[in-house]
Amino acid sequence: MVAQPSQPHFMTVDEWRELEEHSEIKHEYIDGQIYAMAGGTLAHSFVAGRIVALLNSMFRGKSCRAYNSDAAARLSPTRFTYPDTTVTCDERDRPTTKLREIQTPRVIVEVVSESTEAYDRGMKFSFYRECPHVQEYVVVATRYQLVEIFRRTPQGWTEYHVYGPGDEVELTSIDVHLPLAALYEDTDVPESLDIPEGEV
C-alpha cells in the first residue's frame, strides 16, 4: 500500500479511530498526522494475500495469526500503520469483531513497489524498529523476486538476510520456513531484473 500525506491537520487517536470506522479508505496515524492509503498493483495485492494465506495455513493449532492490511498495527500510543501482513502470537490479538488494532505485532511484512520502497525502507522501518514487540521486518519486492529480512537481536537490529529464487525464507521469531517461489506463484514478477548491457 502507498501512504499519501493528507492535508496537514492534527488529529487525536480517538478522532482517527472515528474516521477509520466511517471512511471508505484507510489512513495511517503517525504522531497526530494522518496518511491516506492508496492501492497497489494486482501483483502487489496477490503476493500480499499469498503471504497471509501461507502463514495462516502453517499456524493451524498454534497461537500465532497473520492479518492482512485491513488490520492496523499499534506501534506505540501515537503510531498506527496498516502493514501488508502483520503476525501476532498474543492471545489478546485473536480474531474478534470488537477490535480493529493489533496490540503486539511480532512480524511485519511490507510488499514494496517503486512508489513505496523509499518510505517502507526509511521512515516506516524506523517506526517498526522503535516498536518493542516487532522482532522481524520483512521486505518483499515486486519488481523481481527478492525477500529481505531485518531481525532484532539482543544487540539491536543487527541481522540482515536476503533470499532469492530457489531459497526458503526463514522467520525465526515464529519458527516458519516459506519457499520463496510460493510467494510469487501465479504472478508475472520476474526472477531477476533484466538490465540491458552497459546500464547500471
What SS3 state is found at 175? coil
| Residue from 180, 137, 141, 183 nearest 160 by CA | 137
Backbone Cα Rg of the chain: 17
Residue 14: pLDDT over 80: yes
Nearest of 81, 85, 79, 80 to residue 111 by alpha carbon: 85
Query: pLDDT confidence of 199, banded at 50, 70, 90?
Result: low
d(Cα 157, Cα 150) in Å, to the nearest integer?
Answer: 7
pTM of the model: 0.89
Q: Give residue 148's identity as a one-letter amino acid code.
A: E
What pLDDT shows up at residue 96? 83
Q: Closest by alpha carbon to 128, among 99, 157, 153, 101?
A: 157
Question: Per-residue confidence at 99, pLDDT binned at 50, 70, 90?
Answer: confident
Q: pLDDT exceeding 70 applies to what percent of the chain?
A: 92
Span 141-153, average pLDDT: 95
Buried-exposed string 70-98: b where 16+ CB fall within 10 A, e elsewhere: ebbbbbeeebbbbbbbbbbbeeebeeeee
Rounded to the nearest angstrom, the gap between the alpha carbon of residue 105 and the centroid of all alpha carbons in its chain is: 10
Q: Do 93 and 65 contact (CB within 8 A), yes or no?
A: yes
Where do the domains of the chain lie, and which CATH numbers do they carry? 39-184 (3.90.1570.10)
Is pLDDT of 193 > 80? no
For 40-82, write each residue's pLDDT tens digit.
Answer: 889 999 999 999 999 999 999 899 999 999 999 999 999 999 9
Predicted confidence at residue 200, as pLDDT, reads: 46
Q: Higher confidence at residue 7 or residue 191?
A: 191
For residue 101, give Cα distances in angstroms to 45, 47, 81, 193.
21, 22, 9, 37
User: Lowest-confidence range among 30-34, 99-103, 175-179, 192-196?
Assistant: 192-196
pLDDT at 197: 53
Q: Which grid cell is 192?
A: 531477476
